[in-house]
Amino acid sequence: MNEQEFIPKKYSGLIPAGTTTWRAPSNIALVKYWGKFPDQIPANPSISFTLSKSATTTSVSYEPKKQNSDGTSFTLLFEGKPKEEFRPKITTFLGRISRYLPFLNEVHLKIDTSNTFPHSSGIASSASGMAALALCLMDIEKGLVPSMEPEFLMRKASFLARLGSGSACRSISGPIVEWGMHKDLPESTDLAGIPYNGKVHQVFQDYQDTILLVHKGEKTVSSTAGHDLMNKHPFANRRFEQAHDNLSGLIGVFETGDLERFIQIVESEALTLHAMMMTSLPYYLLMKPQTLSVIQKIWAYREQTSVPLCFTLDAGANVHLLYPLQYREKVLQFIKNELIAYCENGQYICDQLGEGSKKV
Ligand code: DP6
């Protein structure tokens, strides 16, 4: 893959008016993307489970610009209301990708977006949000280039989504997506997420992710700022190597279904991510006391019951509980008995692996 293939030749027809709607899911990384170089190039490869229910649905209506102004032009509704806070990120995104979608300078867009997960639940919506928007824009381009193959549309959508938010490039397809060059995956690239096409043991089919909403407030340090702190981080290079090793390890685990090793890699990745935050300068903490209590309860439960339940974390205090479908009832009972007390307003979200984005 190279970026040149995403720069289109001149469009032949005139730009029509229309509307397109896409639903893109959130994803949870098993090997974490943490650290990046200019142009959203990841410092290490990452791999994630695509979720099913936690998703963003975005409609984009488009029409030729009425005034002959420079640059991109859009209005934005979030859950039916104007949302000024989101404008700068989208303005930057559209500016960055107009080189690959030149029609953006000639249209006015009306973007209408909403999430299935509760507002300010602490679940990052940038991955699903940027993925859904990228897909809508690709659908508009497909109208201008009718010969476009569906596979190219998805590949370029992932390439574009990455420029909005790195992890968003892993929200286009499913159920497992890899992003970033890795020696064991010849098709891997830093430019986009690719659906993982190695062997996957059936224990991972319909794998469950129950997300405990431990803390729903805004993060004190954004992911973008956190990535930046990896630039001068004393442990950065060793960490990037470790991500490569953990990804090799997971490739083996996917094939054999070795859940003990799966748990070891996934929990180590989660704690390493937070260890990187704690050892950055300035250092910071995104875990809350409840996060630690939940982790300790999970370890005790696993010891007592041998249920292969493990946790992972993203850049926040919420805890993702990962486990095979066959343990669903047991784990949900455990959550009700012991973990719900640590969730803000007793809230949690039951999700599972999903197939990726869909046109609505
Ligand atoms: C901890 O993709 O949100 O969730 O590229 O700056 O938008 P930007 O960062 P973002 O970082 C996500 C980091 C993570 C780990 C992961 O999803 O791999």
User: How much is the pLDDT for 1?
Assistant: 86
Nearest-atom number in ligand 1 for the CA of 168 is 2
User: How much is the pLDDT for 119?
Assistant: 65
Q: Which of 48, 218, 227, 312 to mutate to test the pocket of ligand 1 (most atoms within 8 A of CB)?
A: 227
> Is residue 28 lining ligand 1, measured as CB closer than 6 Å?
no
pTM for this structure? 0.96
Sign of CA dihedral 283, 240, 155, 160: positive
Q: Which of 27, 30, 33 to mutate to test the pocket of ligand 1 (most atoms within 8 A of CB)?
A: 33
By the 10 Å C-beta count (0-12 exposed, 13-18 middle, 19+ buried), 353 is classed as buried
| Nearest residue by C-alpha to atom 5 in ligand 1 | 166
User: How much is the pLDDT for 111?
Assistant: 97
Closest CA to 79 of 121, 16, 27, 135: 121
Cβ atoms of residues 126 and 86 within 8 Å? no
Sign of CA dihedral 260, 184, 162, 285: positive
Nearest-atom number in ligand 1 for the CA of 315 is 1
> Is residue 296 lining ligand 1, measured as CB closer than 6 Å?
no
CB-based contacts of 166, cutoff 8 Å, min separation 6 = 33, 36, 40, 42, 179, 227
The maximal CA–CA distance of the chain, rounded, in angstroms, is 68
> Is residue 315 lining ligand 1, measured as CB closer than 6 Å?
yes
Please tell me the distance from the alpha carbon of residue 249 to that of residue 254, in angstroms, as a whole number: 9
User: How much is the pLDDT for 121?
Assistant: 65
> Is residue 166 lining ligand 1, measured as CB closer than 6 Å?
yes
> Is residue 269 lining ligand 1, measured as CB closer than 6 Å?
no
CA of 146 to the centre of ligand 1 (A): 33
User: How much is the pLDDT for 120?
Assistant: 63
CB-based contacts of 16, cutoff 8 Å, min separation 6 = 143
Cβ atoms of residues 321 and 212 within 8 Å? yes
CA of 9 to the centre of ligand 1 (A): 32
Nearest-atom number in ligand 1 for the CA of 167 is 2
User: How much is the pLDDT for 273?
Assistant: 98
Low pLDDT (below 50) residues in the chain: none
End-to-end CA, the chain: 28
> Is residue 312 lining ligand 1, measured as CB closer than 6 Å?
no
CA of 165 to the centre of ligand 1 (A): 7
Closest CA to 171 of 125, 202, 203, 208: 125
CA of 33 to the centre of ligand 1 (A): 6
> Is residue 72 lining ligand 1, measured as CB closer than 6 Å?
no
> Is residue 274 lining ligand 1, measured as CB closer than 6 Å?
no
**Three-state SS string across 188-245, please?**
CCCCCEEECCCCCCHHHCCCEEEEECCCCCCCCCCHHHHHHHCCCCCCHHHHHHHHHH
At residue 126, φ and ψ (nearest 5 deg) are -70, -35
Please tell me the distance from the alpha carbon of residue 199 to that of residue 63, in angstroms, as a whole number: 45
- Alpha-carbon Rg for the chain, nearest whole angstrom, is 20
Please tell me the distance from the alpha carbon of residue 330 to that of residue 169, in angstroms, as a whole number: 34
